[in-house]
Amino acid sequence: MLSTTFDPENRLVAGELERRWNEKLERVVELERAYAQAERDAEWSLRKEERTAIAELSQDLPAIWRAETTTDRERKQLIRMAIESVQLDGVCEAGKIEIQIHWRSGTVTEHIVKRPAPGESSLKTPEEAVEQIHAMARRSSYEEIATHLNRAGLRSAFGRRFTTQHVGYICRRDGVAKHKPRHASKSEESVNSSTSKES
């Protein structure tokens, strides 16, 4: 007992310390019992048929991956469990990145991907819209081009409707119709108006 190490006049202090010590020991025993019970509760009770089905399914990773019941979170967990490590080499071959995937099965797969060029992933005006701007630039105003693109359902790199400023920027950037007016002239408007009435 702890009290035997104290002088008789300090027996009260020793008794209090011993009581606290015993409480902590009892708490440790309780936690150990609770942990053991939690482990028993966590154990699955599977029938032989269920164990066989799980074993077969574990050999068909693509089926698990494609299953509608498999969530994205579970797919990430599958990847973490299947892959041991990944090594990247972006030095040996210019403009390319070599990827080595080391699987837990011992297999090593290699992939080579193109290294993104600076600005390659930035937003760009759809190619179809740029082609139409180039085709119309020599005979139409910025306003007419923007109206045509918007009616065709085309949108800018940011998903917005085209404006004269946007069309003008592309024309100046690509060197087409350098002196093209932003708006249709009055004579062009009258010609277009009369033409549309006749048609």
Domain match, 134 and 161 both:
yes
Residue 109 lies in a domain: yes
Is residue 122 included in any domain, yes or no?
no
pLDDT of residue 184: 52
Residue 111: helix, strand or coil by DSSP?
Answer: strand
pLDDT of residue 192: 41
Structural contact between residues 177 and 135, judged by C-beta atoms closer than 8 angstroms? no
Question: Are 104 and 131 part of one and the same domain?
Answer: no
Domains identified in the chain, total number: 3
Q: How far apart are CA 168 and CA 175, in angstroms?
A: 10
Within a domain: residue 50? no
Q: Per the domain annotation, does 105 fall within a domain?
A: yes
Q: Is 162 among the domain residues?
A: yes
89 part of a folded domain: yes
Query: What pLDDT was estimated at residue 90?
Result: 81
Q: Looking at 114, 149, 172, which one is the last position of a domain?
A: 114
Tokens coding 5: 């190490």
Predicted pLDDT of residue 119: 62
pLDDT in tens, the chain (199 residues): 444 555 666 777 778 888 889 898 999 999 999 888 887 776 666 778 877 887 787 778 788 888 888 899 989 988 888 899 999 998 888 888 999 999 888 899 999 988 877 665 667 889 999 999 999 998 999 999 999 999 999 998 888 999 999 999 999 989 987 555 555 544 444 434 433 343 3
Task: Tell me which residue range forms the domain holding 36.
Answer: 2-42
Same domain, 135 and 178: yes
Burial of 182 (0-12, 13-18, 19+ CB in 10 A): middle
User: Does residue 6 lie within any of the structural domains?
Assistant: yes
How many other C-beta atoms lie within 10 A of the C-beta of residue 166? Answer: 21
Contact indicator for 133, 107 with CB cutoff of 8 Å: no
Q: Mark whether 109 and 145 lie in a shared domain.
A: no
Residue 86 lies in a domain: yes
